[in-house]
Copies of this chain bind each other. A is one copy, B any other.
């Protein structure tokens, strides 16, 4: 059996209606709702077919139909319309531009949550293939050296290094020159044993300090690996009856609070995403087990050159995909305005 034009129209009507009401949709509703001029009996026949094909489900014998994951998937892939959807109050972010990226991202998460009425998650800024721009060692007090590492995108990392005795300023200067001349412009993968050996050789008696600094560099950039995740609007989950029974809600909110599992889905979508492509996970398509009753829409943005962030929206399977996708699309433009303009 094939999906003819009429079946598609009916399926679409069922899904649209279900997205709005959250109630199973009956044949009579569709008969009135569409412009197909068909009686409810005919619709019933078609619905039986659609059920057999797996696009819709009957919760119980005497109820209407609701879309299945397969139905939603078809809807998302082929039936949605693109229309510009702006995130409200984005302009209020502008004032904050000067501040750190993370703060902006947290605010974006919050705005998205209030705009969409779903839960949102945002990764901290991801610095990919960043290069070391500048390293500076300074003597803080008699036993402590401070290493500051600046990488592309003006990301700063600090590390305190303990020493037995203070270094004189000349040595410090030499070490700084050595560090910068050897490491400037390299990204972490490029720092190989060869370079390290050469540096140690040049450092002479201070080779152990060079080791410490390199450890600090590694550690500093390492930190970026465990994906930081911010969430917002967790309580929006409770607005949807199908997710808000105590057990499910507890699991979901816990998942949002713990963030560990969210990192899975976010990094998964980061790998899949071609740039600025939007990813939709419907129900069991999601890699997060506790989210089988939800849908997740993700998008990865390039904020500045080499700096990315992935944003995800979490809602019930009957989320308003059209609005969410269009909002994320619009967000891209809005973020561009904020970052490219200034």
Contact = CB atoms under 8 A, between A and B. Distances in A.
A134 B235 CA distance: 44
Interface in A31-46: none
A240 B77 CA distance: 43
Given A146-B148, A238-B246, A253-B253, A158 B156 contact: yes
A122 to B, nearest CB: 14
A276 to B, nearest CB: 28
Interface in A132-154: 133-134, 136, 138, 140-141, 144, 146, 148, 150, 154
A148 B138 contact: yes
Given A235-B253, A250-B238, A257-B235, A150 B154 contact: no
Contacts of A234: 234, 253, 257
Interface in A114-142: 133-134, 136, 138, 140-141
A182 to B, nearest CB: 17
A48 interface: no
B136 A146 contact: yes
A244 B134 CA distance: 53
A196 interface: no
Q: How many copies of this protein are present in the complex? A: 2
A229 interface: no
A232 interface: yes
Given A160-B154, A257-B232, A138 B146 contact: no
A218 to B, nearest CB: 14
Interface in A238-293: 238, 244, 246, 249-250, 253-254, 257
Q: Name, among A140, A158, A257, the residue most crowded by chain B CB atoms within 10 Å (CB to CB).
A: A257
A179 to B, nearest CB: 12
Given A133-B141, A144-B154, A234-B257, 14 more contacts: A134-B138, A134-B141, A136-B148, A138-B148, A140-B154, A146-B148, A148-B148, A154-B160, A156-B158, A231-B257, A235-B250, A235-B254, A238-B249, A253-B253
Interface of A: 133-134, 136, 138, 140-141, 144, 146, 148, 150, 154, 156, 158, 160, 231-235, 238, 244, 246, 249-250, 253-254, 257
Pairs A-B, 4 closest by C-beta atoms: A156-B158, A235-B254, A134-B140, A136-B138
